[in-house]
């Protein structure tokens, strides 16, 4: 395939970012910006743009010049909009989350598989230089075995009308976890606790605790009500620990050769016995130099490459299903007072997805 004709669906908060990055990505040609409010779409494009504006999804999908769509509409609309696009033979890039429910997301994955089309999630953080470095480091054994992950994503944020803070913010952290964890380490159970101190009718502050295979644990704190913005993640390993401060451009990543080691010593007396000894390792800290680049540009390039090379993208439909499986189990846990609940697994084919 040569140049890929693209339509962006949705001209609200995220749509303009997709428009800007699509127009700057070689191999993509932006054909349409589609929104129910055509005037809003025209304002996004500017009066001198040659990109067509439409308020009709059917009109856009009927145009043979459109090979793919990028969807930036509310989560509740992802199933009907993405399904229409797939049924029209278009490749689909969709904003997180994949769909409003796991079962809806599974329908989209099956539809894309059936037609041999690319279905990709816009999990933007997974395409940052930081997460790329983390993925290579953690999956390559650079921190030893994973012991824990701890993420904080808090700010004075927009209280969403249709989803709680878990569904709004936690997908970022969960997609990062799933992107960097080694193949043998998977989420198996989750407990969620949340509160609604302002009476919004949904959780505005929440904590997730996730059990991982091998005894490791992950924790996510999300909050719409914090007067200060914090974006930090700590990945602890048996040999090194990584600290990511996304609000510190001078030193986003710090890799510490510091931690706690356990040693088994044998004391000889009247009888031989094993004693557990704890020692503290105080090595160096390394801050790798990382390039600054816009992650959404890398998202667009990956979408283009997955189509032209007929291969699954890094954040394919099944990665979206994995995030949904954790979110749904977390919502059920929240409703049951924070008990641990199992997370259904997502296999390499939809036939293997647990019911």
User: Which domains does the chain possess?
Assistant: 4-125+296-314 (3.40.50.720), 126-286 (3.30.360.10)
Identify whether the C-beta of residue 122 lies closer than 8 Å to the C-beta of residue 94: yes
263 pLDDT band, cuts 50/70/90, is low
Q: What is the pLDDT of residue 274?
A: 47
What is the crossing angle of helices 15-23 and 295-308, to 10°?
70
The number of beta carbons lying within 10 Å of the beta carbon of residue 279 is: 9
Q: What is the pLDDT of residue 348?
A: 52
130, 92, 94, 119 alpha-carbon torsion, rounded to 10°: -60
Residue 73 CB partners (closer than 8 Å, separation 6+): 9, 10, 12, 81, 95
268 pLDDT band, cuts 50/70/90, is very low
Q: Which residue has the higher pLDDT, 267 or 171?
A: 171
Q: What is the mean pLDDT of residues 102-129?
A: 96
Helix (H) or strand (E) holding 206: strand 205-212
Identify whether the C-beta of residue 5 lies closer than 8 Å to the C-beta of residue 52: no
349 pLDDT band, cuts 50/70/90, is very low
Identify whether the C-beta of residue 213 lies closer than 8 Å to the C-beta of residue 184: yes
What's the pLDDT tens digit per position in 290-318?
988 889 999 999 999 999 999 999 999 99
Of 246, 249, 230, residue with least CA distance to 156: 230
265 pLDDT band, cuts 50/70/90, is low
Q: What is the mean pLDDT of residues 207-214?
A: 96
Residue 243 CA to residue 237 CA, distance in Å, equals: 11
280 pLDDT band, cuts 50/70/90, is low
Start-to-end C-alpha separation, the chain:
37
Q: What is the mean pLDDT of residues 230-251?
A: 94
Instruction: Calculate what percentage of the chain has a pLDDT beyond 70.
Output: 92
Identify whether the C-beta of residue 76 lies closer than 8 Å to the C-beta of residue 164: no
What's the pLDDT tens digit per position in 146-180?
999 999 999 998 888 888 999 999 999 999 999 99
Whether the pLDDT of residue 273 is over 60: the answer is no
Which residue matches tokens 């709004």? 168
Of 354, 304, 32, 74, residue with least CA distance to 186: 354
252 pLDDT band, cuts 50/70/90, is very high
What is the crossing angle of helices 102-115 and 317-335, to 10°?
170
Residues pairing with 121 in the sheet: 94
| Mean of per-residue pLDDT scores for the chain | 90
The rounded Cα 205 to chain-centroid distance in angstroms is 19
Of 349, 331, 313, 22, residue with least CA distance to 179: 313
Whether the pLDDT of residue 105 is over 50: the answer is yes
Phi–psi pair at 188, nearest 5 degrees: -120, -25
Identify whether the C-beta of residue 204 lies closer than 8 Å to the C-beta of residue 196: yes
Q: What is the mean pLDDT of residues 259-279?
A: 57
- The edge-to-edge listing of strands for the beta sheet with 146-156 is 272-286, 253-268, 241-245, 225-237, 146-156, 217-223, 205-212, 187-195, 341-342
Which residue matches tokens 């997709």? 18
Whether the pLDDT of residue 279 is over 80: the answer is no
354 pLDDT band, cuts 50/70/90, is very low
- The edge-to-edge listing of strands for the beta sheet with 119-122 is 52-54, 28-34, 4-9, 68-71, 91-95, 119-122
């Amino acid at each position: 395939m040569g140049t890929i004709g693209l339509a962006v669906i949705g001209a609200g908060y995220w749509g303009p970012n997709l428009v800007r990055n699509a127009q700057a990505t070689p191999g993509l040609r932006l054909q349409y910006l589609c929104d129910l409010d055509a005037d809003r779409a025209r304002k996004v494009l500017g009066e001198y743009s040659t990109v067509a504006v439409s308020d009709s999804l059917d009109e856009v999908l009927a145009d043979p010049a459109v090979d793919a769509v990028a969807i930036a509409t509310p989560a509740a609309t992802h199933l009907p909009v993405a399904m229409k696009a797939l049924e029209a033979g278009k490749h689909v890039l969709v904003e997180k989350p994949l769909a409003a429910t796991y079962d809806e997301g599974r329908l989209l994955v099956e539809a894309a598989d059936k037609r041999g089309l690319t279905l990709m999630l816009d999990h933007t953080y997974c395409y940052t230089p930081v997460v790329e470095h983390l993925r290579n480091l953690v999956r390559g054994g650079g921190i030893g075995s994973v012991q824990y992950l701890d993420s904080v994503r808090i700010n004075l944020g927009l209280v969403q009308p249709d989803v709680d803070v878990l569904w709004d913010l936690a997908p970022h952290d969960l997609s990062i976890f799933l992107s960097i964890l080694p193949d043998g380490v998977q989420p198996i159970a989750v407990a969620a606790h949340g509160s609604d101190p302002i009476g919004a009718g949904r959780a505005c502050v929440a904590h997730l605790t996730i059990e991982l295979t091998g005894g490791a644990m992950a924790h996510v704190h999300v909050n719409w009500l914090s007067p200060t913005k914090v974006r930090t993640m700590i990945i602890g390993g048996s040999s090194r620990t990584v600290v990511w401060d996304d609000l510190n451009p001078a030193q986003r990543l710090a890799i510490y050769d510091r931690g706690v080691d356990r040693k088994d010593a044998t004391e000889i007396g009247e009888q031989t016995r094993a004693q557990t000894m704890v020692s503290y390792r105080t090595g160096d800290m390394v801050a790798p130099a990382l390039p600054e680049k816009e992650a959404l540009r890398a998202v667009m390039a990956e979408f283009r490459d997955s189509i032209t090379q007929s291969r699954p993208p890094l954040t394919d439909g099944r990665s979206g299903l994995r995030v949904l499986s954790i979110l749904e189990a977390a919502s059920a846990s929240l409703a049951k007072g924070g008990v641990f609940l199992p997370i259904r697994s997502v296999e390499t084919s939809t036939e293997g997805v647990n019911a």
